[in-house]
Amino acid sequence: MKAVAQDLWQLRGLPPNAINVYLAGDVLIDAGTRHSRRRILRQLIDRPLSLLCLTHVHPDHQGSAASVCEARGIPLACHVDDVDAMEGRRPVQEAHADDPVNRLIRRVWQGPPRNVDRALSEGDEVAGYTVIHAPGHARGEIILFREPDRVAICGDVIRNMNYLTGLPSVAEPPKRFTVDPSENRRSIRRLLELRPSVICPGHGPPVRDCRKLEHLVEGF
């Protein structure tokens, strides 16, 4: 694991930074695809865990949630607006469901449904971070923000990876994966208003120069 900030680590992945999983204190943030179970559990074998918290319920973030929670005996949390998706009452990936890429992702990456033990709402606290509802990419997308050092874990509100080249690039999530792109832009603006010192996205390395986020918003 790689330290990102105080009591915050980014788990190793292959390729690096492609599908990010974080550990905030003793809370696991996101669970990769359903093929990520082994690499997550191996890196956390000596770490105490109290909770698995999802930034949103998409196949590349909830994939191993059920199996990791079962293996470690920990509860699962996500925003209240994504509970139905996690528990199997509505599709995990709602945007452009018939898109061939989305069909492939569902088939290859999506994990099984599981009961949500803690439904999160705006203003709740997780591992010292405040929950901020940031919908658009998914109904229940959240930002986790730690005020003292202004660290933001943002899921897929933004990405810092060009999916074609693999190189860092601060951008919006692709529209084919996003339920409401206009709403997501409002969430990006809200992320910028937090003036974070470091942004930890779901895809790509941490962003430490937030002028890149400013430039993205200026382009809107």
What is the model's pLDDT at position 97?
86
Mean pLDDT for the stretch of residues 83-110: 94
Residue 155 pLDDT class (50, 70, 90 cuts): very high
Domains and CATH numbers, the chain: 2-218 (3.60.15.10)
Residue 166 pLDDT class (50, 70, 90 cuts): confident
* Contact yes or no for 21/28 (Cβ under 8 A): yes
Tokens (6 digits) for 20 = 């990010």
Mean pLDDT for the stretch of residues 188-208: 97
Give the bridge partners for 119, in sequence order: 78
Alpha carbon distances (Å) from 94 to 25, 84, 99, 149: 32, 12, 11, 34
Residue 164 pLDDT class (50, 70, 90 cuts): confident
What is the model's pLDDT at position 94?
92
Handedness of CA 88, 89, 95, 100 (dihedral sign): positive
What's this model's pTM, rounded to 2 decimal places?
0.96
What is the model's pLDDT at position 46?
93
What is the model's pLDDT at position 11?
98
What is the model's pLDDT at position 188?
98
- Residue 14 clears pLDDT 90, i.e. is over it: no
Among 157, 156, 158, 88, which residue's Cα sits nearest to residue 116? 88
For the stretch 102-132, pLDDT in tens is: 999 999 999 999 999 999 999 999 999 999 9
Alpha carbon distances (Å) from 122 to 11, 90, 117, 142: 26, 22, 17, 9
Residues with Cβ < 8 Å from 193, sequence gap 6 or more? none
State the DSSP H helix or E strand holding residue 39, giving kind and residue range, or none if neither. Answer: helix 37-43
